[in-house]
Amino acid sequence: MVFGLLSADAVVSANTVTVNVSVPPAVASTGLSQDVAERVFTSEIWRMSQARSLLSPASVRSSRDPTIVGVVANALKLDGFTAALQDLFGLERPRVNASIIYQDANRSRLLISGITGQTTNFSLQLDGEAGAESLLRRGATETMEQFEPYRSALYYFEQSLNARSNDFSRTKAVAERELARVPSAETIRRRAFLENLLGIVALMENDKAAAARRFRNSFTTHPIFHVGRLNLGFVLIELDRYQEAIDLLSPLTSITLSPTAAMRGSFAPLVEALHSTIGVARWGLGDLDGAELSFRDAVRAYPDSEAAYTYWARLLRERGRTAEAEEKEAVARVNALSFDNYPEVANLFFWMNHMDDQPLVRRASRVARLD
C-alpha cells in the first residue's frame, strides 16, 4: 500500500513545480523572509494559472511544503523514495531556484534557474528598482512562461480581453516562441492548444483565413484534438461553406469528446457547441428540420446553454412558431446570467450566422460583465 501511495505521489509531483527562494539576511531583516518570498513567487504563478481553460494547470508549492504522502515517506525513513521512483518512471521533477541579490540600496537583482517537466533547463536574470517584491512577481511571470507557455499565453489573452484591448502581441509572442521550438512527443498536445489559441486571436483580429489555418494546424499536429475541428467548423460557417462544416463535424457526433483529448472535467459545453454548429450549418443550407433536431440535441447535452436556446428560438421565429420561440428565449435569458466561456472555443466567443456575408459578432460573457 505504501509503495502504491509513493508511486502515485511520484507521478503527481512530476506535475508540481517546487519553488525555493534564497533571501540574504539584509533582505530578510526588512520582513521579506524566505517563507514570504516563496509565497509571493508561488502566488503570482497561481494567479496566472487561474485563467479559464479546457486544460488543468500544474500546481506550484514551496520546496519546503511536504505532501501528505511525503510525510508518510519521512516517517518510514523513505524520504528519497519519491525521487527515486520518478527517476525509475522517467519523470523529471519541475523545480525553480531563485536568489535575491541586492546591488545597492535602490536596486535589486533576481537570479532564477530551473528545469521544466520537459527536462529543459533555463536561467533568468532580472534587475529592478521597484523593490524585491515587485521583482519576485516579475520573475514569477517570466518563470511561468518557461514552465507553462500555453497557460501564460492564455493569461495574457485574458488580460487583453479584460482591458477591452485588441492588442494580443504578448500572447502571440509567447505562443510563437514556443511553436518555434523543435517539437517532441511531450509537447504535441500543448502545441495543438497553442495553434488553436492563435486561431482564436486571429478571429479577434477578424482574420478568418489565418484562423482557419491555425485551427487546421492544431488537429494536424494532434489528430485527437477535436476542439480544433470544432473551431474550423465555426470558421467554415462564417465563410458560408456550410456543407464542408457538416462534413467535418458530423463524424464527431458518434464519438466521445474525451476529456483526455480535449479537456478534463465536464465537457458538455463542447458537445453543445458541436451540435449547435452543425445546426447552424444545416440552417444555412435550408434544412430547417435538421437544424431544429441539432439544436434539440444541443440543449439535451447542455441544458444550461444560452446559445443553443437562442439559435433554436431564432429558427422557430423564422418558421412562424412565435410562442415556442418566446419560451426558448426566456430560457436563454436565464442561462445568460451564468454564461462564461472557454477561451479555446470560437463559438463561445462569437455568434454564428446562417446567412451569407455576415460580420463576426461577439457574444457577451460573464467576464466582461464582472469587469
The pLDDT tens digits of the residues spanning 336-356 come to 888 767 789 998 889 999 998
pLDDT of residue 348: 85
The pLDDT tens digits of the residues spanning 189-204 come to 889 999 999 999 999 9
Contact present, 317 and 243 (Cβ < 8 Å): no
CATH, domain range 2-146:
3.90.950
Q: How many residues does the chain have?
A: 371
What is the C-alpha to C-alpha distance for residues 41 and 138, in angstroms, rounded to an integer?
9
pLDDT less than 50: residues of the chain: 1-3, 5-14, 67-78, 85-92, 258-265, 366-371
pLDDT of residue 263: 40
CATH: 3.40.50.300, 3.40.50.1820, 1.25.40.10, 3.30.70.3400. Which one for 237-371? 1.25.40.10
pLDDT of residue 338: 80
pTM of the model: 0.81
Best CA proximity match to 151, nearest among 13, 47, 267: 47
Q: In angstroms, how far apart are the furthest CA atoms of the chain?
A: 77
pLDDT of residue 97: 82
Q: Please report how many Cα atoms fall inside a 13 Å half-sphere around the Cα of residue 110, on the Cβ side.
A: 28
First to last CA, the chain: 49
Q: Which three cell numbers stand for residue 67?
A: 505532501
Q: Which three cell numbers stand for residue 290?
A: 435538421
How many Cβ atoms are within 10 Å of 144's Cβ, its own excluded? 25
Best CA proximity match to 197, nearest among 180, 209, 211: 211
What is the C-alpha to C-alpha distance for residues 238 and 222, in angstroms, rounded to an integer?
24
| Residues carrying CATH 3.90.950, the chain | 2-146
Which value, to the nearest 10 degrees, does the dihedral of the CA atoms of residues 216, 219, 221, 223 take?
-150
| Residues carrying CATH 1.25.40.10, the chain | 237-371
pLDDT of residue 257: 58
